[in-house]
């Protein structure tokens, strides 16, 4: 087996479950040393115990000093940083715009948009030394508007990540840092479980994707692996929809 990330060091936010966990799994299998981070310490440690070459560092993505600590502890332990995967995110209660409180709006943006900013800010000085890679995990909700979706703060945060990917790709191309973005459709994770409670819900969501089903976390992880490995060595600023064709409708 060719280890596509042999010797690489990666930080994956939101790494304790779902897409983040599967990404950590596929990274470690491909030779990377991985740091997973989230605010739930117990969940994080449980996840790390299931993986190889992976350590947990608990932190609150909304607190700058804790984000800085994660990056510094990673470099202190492994001597460098090659990959940042901005995966952590939250999904708000479904409400129309006029029903959303300012507190709810700001909370979503603070995690989904300011969080990646914080991690990128503290990671880039180390990524400049390794010609590293950043992957932003956005959403197809950041690519187009969906009738009846009613999650404006989420869509706004994910759309901002799309354009930030392009901005960072241009800004740091001179440092040979590649920055790319993955936009999943509906994926079978803890975050989407509330919308898949019944067989009817599941069938509706499956049928809403042209390919006929929702995605699995490992399918997104494989796309992240591609964009961090040398298989995509000439790719930066790319926005990859991994959504069963949903965004094409």
Catalytic residues: 154
Average pLDDT for 4-8: 98
Average pLDDT over residues 119-128: 98
Which residue blocks in 87-210 are alpha helix, DSSP H? 102-109, 115-130, 152-171, 199-207
Task: Specify the higher pLDDT residue, 207 or 195.
Answer: 207
pLDDT band with cut points at 50, 70 and 90 for residue 195: confident
pLDDT of amino acid 184: 98
Instruction: Please report the pLDDT score of residue 2 as a whole number.
Output: 93
Query: Using alpha carbons only, how large is the chain's radius of gyration in Å?
Result: 17
* pLDDT above 90: residue 1: no
Query: Distance of CA 122 to CAs 36, 69, 182, Å?
Result: 16, 9, 21
Which pLDDT belongs to residue 148? 86
Structure tokens at 240: 């990859």
Instruction: Report pLDDT for 216.
Output: 97
| 65: Cβ contacts below 8 Å, ≥ 6 apart | none
* Residue carrying structure tokens 């492994």: 78
Q: Is the pLDDT of residue 194 over 90?
A: no
Rounded to two decimals, the pTM is: 0.97
Q: Average pLDDT of 203-231?
A: 97
Averaged pLDDT score across all residues of the chain: 97
Instruction: Tell me the domains of the chain and their CATH numbers.
Output: 9-242 (3.40.50.720)
Tokens of 18: 């779902």
Give the list of residues 6+ apart from residue 147 with CB closer than 8 angstroms, or none.
none
For residue 56, CA distances in Å to 38, 121, 133, 186, 243 come to 8, 21, 20, 27, 29
- Residue 239 confidence class, pLDDT cut points 50, 70, 90: very high
More confident residue, 147 or 155: 155
Model pLDDT, residue 203: 95
């Amino acid at each position: 087996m060719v280890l596509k990330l042999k010797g690489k060091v990666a930080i994956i936010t939101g790494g304790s479950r779902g897409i983040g966990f599967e990404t950590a799994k596929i990274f470690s299998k491909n030779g990377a040393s991985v740091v997973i981070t989230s605010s739930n310490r117990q969940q994080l440690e449980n996840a790390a115990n299931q993986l190889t070459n992976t350590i947990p560092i608990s932190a609150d993505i909304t607190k700058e000093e804790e984000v800085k600590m994660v990056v510094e502890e990673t470099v202190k332990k492994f001597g460098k940083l090659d990959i940042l995967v901005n995966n952590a995110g939250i999904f708000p209660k479904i409400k129309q715009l006029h029903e959303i409180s300012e507190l709810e709006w700001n909370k979503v943006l603070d995690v989904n948009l300011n969080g990646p900013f914080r991690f990128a800010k503290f990671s880039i000085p180390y990524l400049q030394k390794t010609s590293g890679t950043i992957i932003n995990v956005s959403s197809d909700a950041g690519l187009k508007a969906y009738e009846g979706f009613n999650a404006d703060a989420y869509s706004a945060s994910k759309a901002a990540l799309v354009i930030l990917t392009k901005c960072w790709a241009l800004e740091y191309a001179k440092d040979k840092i590649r920055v790319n973005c993955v936009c999943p459709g509906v994926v079978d994770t803890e975050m989407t479980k509330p919308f898949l409670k019944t067989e009817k819900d599941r069938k509706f969501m499956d049928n809403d994707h042209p390919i006929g089903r929702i995605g699995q976390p490992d399918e997104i992880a494989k796309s992240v692996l591609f964009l961090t490995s040398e298989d995509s060595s000439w790719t930066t600023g790319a926005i990859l929809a991994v959504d069963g064709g949903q965004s094409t409708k």
